[in-house]
Amino acid sequence: MKDILVTGGAGYIGSHTAVELIAAGYRPILVDNFSNTDERLLEGMARITGQEPIVHRGDCCDLEFMRTLFQQYTFAGVIHFAAYKAVGESVAQPLKYYHNNIVSLTNLLQLLEVFEVRSLVFSSSCTVYGQPEQLPIREDGPENKATSPYGCTKQIGEQILSDFYRAHSDFTIGMLRYFNPIGAHPSGWIGELPFGVPNNLVPFLTQATAGHRQALTVFGADYDTPDGSCIRDFIHVVDLAKAHVKTLDFLMRQTSCCEAINLGQGKGNSVFEVIQTFEAVNGVQVPHSIGARRAGDVVQIWADASKAKRLLDWQTELTLGDALRDAWNWQCHLDKG
């Protein structure tokens, strides 16, 4: 059985990916500093898979700690999720973001080189595109200036990987540009667990609907879009997790590659459409009001997802409605304790 190091493996996307890795016959070895997740996701993973996750508590910026993992296991590949991801916080605390997101990556690359682990999947983001001029956006489309330090760390991360690859052409690297991951495992045992007030749309929406927050504010209804609200490409986290397994399979079949790949549905939905769909699939009302635009938001973005189909034989199977049903199921699970 192949061991795969999954950094940030106890987090939202990491936990769903670990579940899919196990289903595909891999053995995920998780590392997490638990700075933005908690033990509940480990328990949930155990319930879904029937096995206790193998998890090491520690920080990817700690090179010596990471080295002990590479000494202990023979990794066939690495999926690197561990990073900070809150756009607003990155504006307030840029050094925290540059340090954590960049040092963890360069540490990892040093160890991959020394221990000759040649396949790496990197969590990137559609944020590298800024506000695209043409939609849908392809991987070879122009990158605009990122609108936050968080976005810059993803652009720099991709740059570091491209430079590293140029010097090490025997590596296989996938840089996965996620659009907007939402939803939860259909079992309700794992899902998004943000600490404090959620920044992202769907966790805020579920918590507001459950009565834990005040009404959801729609950040701007005066954009130049059909209903005035922003448009995003929302992707079910289980589809996203499966894409990581397919990427790993693909990288292991290659002898040399460094590819950026969009992961999205290939279509956009507006914030109002999310609210309406959530109400329709769950039979609940979402308390909401219209507020001011949020600084730094792009107006609209959705993926050209054809490269993922071509290279990975992957495309989304789940709909926006599926994701919003599963997000609400997860919230209800949490509330029941």
d(CA 45, CA 26): 15
Looking at the Cβ atoms of 58 and 130, the one nearer to ligand UD1 is: 130
- Is residue 150 flagged as an active site residue? yes
- C-alpha distances (whole Å) from 313 to each of 136, 160, 259, 302 are 19, 27, 15, 19
Please say whether the beta carbons of 80 and 106 come within 8 A. Answer: no
CB of 188 to ligand UD1, least distance (A): 21
d(CA 185, CA 29): 20
CB of 152 to ligand UD1, least distance (A): 12
**Parallel, antiparallel, or unpaired for β 75-80 and 119-125?**
parallel
Looking at the Cβ atoms of 188 and 264, the one nearer to ligand UD1 is: 264
User: Which residue is at the shortest CB distance from ligand UD1?
Assistant: 230
The torsion of the CA quartet 197, 203, 208, 212, rounded to 10 degrees, works out to -50
Q: What is the DSSP string of 66-80?
A: HHHHHHH--EEEEEE
CB of 314 to ligand UD1, least distance (A): 19
Q: Which residues bind ligand UD1 (CB under 6 A)?
A: 85-87, 125-127, 180, 199-201, 204, 216-219, 230, 232, 271, 294, 297-298, 301
Looking at the Cβ atoms of 127 and 329, the one nearer to ligand UD1 is: 127
Q: Which residues does 212 contact at the CB level (< 8 Å), separation at least 6?
A: none
CB of 140 to ligand UD1, least distance (A): 18
d(CA 168, CA 155): 20
- C-alpha distances (whole Å) from 334 to each of 44, 192, 288 are 11, 10, 22
User: 231 phi and psi, to 5 degrees?
Assistant: -120, 135
Q: Which of 12, 150, 178, 223 is catalytic?
A: 150
Looking at the Cβ atoms of 53 and 151, the one nearer to ligand UD1 is: 151
CB of 173 to ligand UD1, least distance (A): 19
Looking at the Cβ atoms of 31 and 87, the one nearer to ligand UD1 is: 87
CB of 311 to ligand UD1, least distance (A): 21
Looking at the Cβ atoms of 111 and 152, the one nearer to ligand UD1 is: 152
Closest C-alpha to 227, from 198, 268, 282 = 268
Q: Which residues are catalytic?
A: 150
